[in-house]
Amino acid sequence: MFRAIFTNSFGILFSRILGLLRDLMTASALGASIYSDIFFIAFKLPNLFRRIFAEGAFTQSFIPAFARSKHKSVFSIHIFVLFLSIILLITLLVTLLPSFATTLIAVGFDDKTIELAAPFVAINFWYLPLIFIVTFLSTFLQYKNHFATTAFSTALLNISLILALYFSQDKSQDEIVYYLSFGVVLGGIMQLIASAIAIYNLGFFKVLYGGFKYFRVKSKIIKKETQNFRTQFFPAVWGNSTAQISGFLDTFFASFLITGSISYLYYANRIFQLPLALFAIATSIALFPRIARFLKNSDEVKAKAYMKKAFWFLAFLLSASTIMGLILAKEITWLLFERGAFSAEDTKTTTLVLQMYMIGLLPFGLQKLILLWLYAKEMQMRAAKISTYSLIAYIVFGASLITPMGASGLALASTISGFVSFFLTLQAFGAKNFFDILLNKYALYLIIGMTLFTFLVLILKDFLAQYV
């Protein structure tokens, strides 16, 4: 288990380091300006779908269905053709009506800003069909416990964007956003090539070819299987999407605030997402195939043993990350972003937003782990209900906090929704199951270890105070 987790974590770490390099280059080139807001808006919607697909619903619905299927090749191709057709249709509509799509994403933008943003939205959206194909291929890799390609492939997107920023450094801000937008599409193509090579090396092209070859002949045989998949998939989409939809609504609400608010949320959330992806998402991806197999075979003892190990592994790492993020928020933001067009005032605002996000790191991360149990038990509808309550909490608190707190209020609302989701997920997981994990010697070790760690971080902050 831990080998797969570390493979995922190392790949994600490599990708996120490149992502931070990309973000500091973006901050230097565009700062927190109308053009940075425009690019983040343009990339927001396809990136939203990427996170929903790649980090949740599709994989967690497809792998159990694929394992149960008696006609795996035809079943796979049926799902692929169905979803890709829908995604291509949406992408074509966005390409033809980019201003309308932009208005839906950022209602608070005025007509002039929407006109500026529309072509970038159309370009960026072509990343979505590319990343769906990558995600589809990645499910086969995960089924075979091959995680390296998926973990490292996101780095290709960041490399593409870094190159776009490098070659556009002497251009106007409008031209820089064009370079970045085409860099997103190129990154998707590179990810697709990498995944296709891995699939070929594992021999899965034979499975896919067989599915295309016998698709018409056997399509009726798999009708029940595909209906079951769709029944599980759509609740899974909703159940996995709270954090992503909250992030999307952040953009919606922030478009009514002062210029730069969307960028403050983006930069802070990028830092917040680093430990979340590095530890919680990497662990969840690596653990899910095993948990699904154990529960399919009615072996809850082994499933709980894996859950316990992963729970405490995440509890220590996420607690340490939370402490560092809260105490060193200003220093981290200053180090990463304060240069070029990104000012000291931008650092001050982004710091407060980051602190509001970091409060929710532990519940967000642990909930991702516990959700595995629900999805492996095919409790997608229960997860969807939890997501609904969490989203309602975000909307209520977001609307309440946006006026007194601005962008930081939206970040705090997201954190509150994370706590709501965490406690409801624990309820679905079961009090007995949770206390079986919680009540052991590691709880005391966590309290003592994090107390000592807090003192060390405070000492480090005092040392850094002379530089920041």
Tens-digit pLDDT profile for residues 384-432: 888 889 989 999 999 999 999 989 999 999 999 999 999 999 999 888 8
What is the model's pLDDT at position 357? 95
C-alpha dihedral over 455, 457, 459, 461, to 10 degrees?
A: -140
* Residue 190 · residue 130 · CB < 8 Å: no
Residue from 58, 61, 55, 59 nearest 378 by CA: 61
Residue-wise pLDDT for 59-68, tens only, equals 767 777 776 7
Tell me: pLDDT of 329 over 90: yes
**Mean pLDDT confidence for 276-301:** 77
Higher pLDDT, 288 or 168: 168
Q: Is the pLDDT of residue 207 over 90?
A: no
pLDDT at 342 over 90: no
Quick one: average pLDDT of 210-218? 65
Under the banding of pLDDT at 50, 70 and 90, the label for residue 4 is low
How many CB atoms neighbour CB 95 within 10 A?
15
Burial track 169-199 (b if 16+ CB lie within 10 A, e otherwise): eeeebeebbbbbbbbbbbbbbbbbebbbebb
Write the single-letter amino acid at 388.
T
Which uninterrupted H or E stretch holds 235?
helix 223-240
Q: Tell me, what DSSP letter sits at residue 219?
A: T
End-to-end CA distance of the chain: 41
Q: How confident is the model at residue 38 (pLDDT cuts 50, 70, 90)?
A: confident
Tens digits of per-residue pLDDT, 144-186?
777 777 777 878 999 999 999 999 888 888 899 899 999 999 9
Average pLDDT over residues 271-296: 79
Cβ(64)–Cβ(292) below 8 Å: yes
Do 420 and 405 touch, CB atoms closer than 8 A? no
Maximum mean pLDDT: which of 273-282, 406-415, 429-438:
406-415
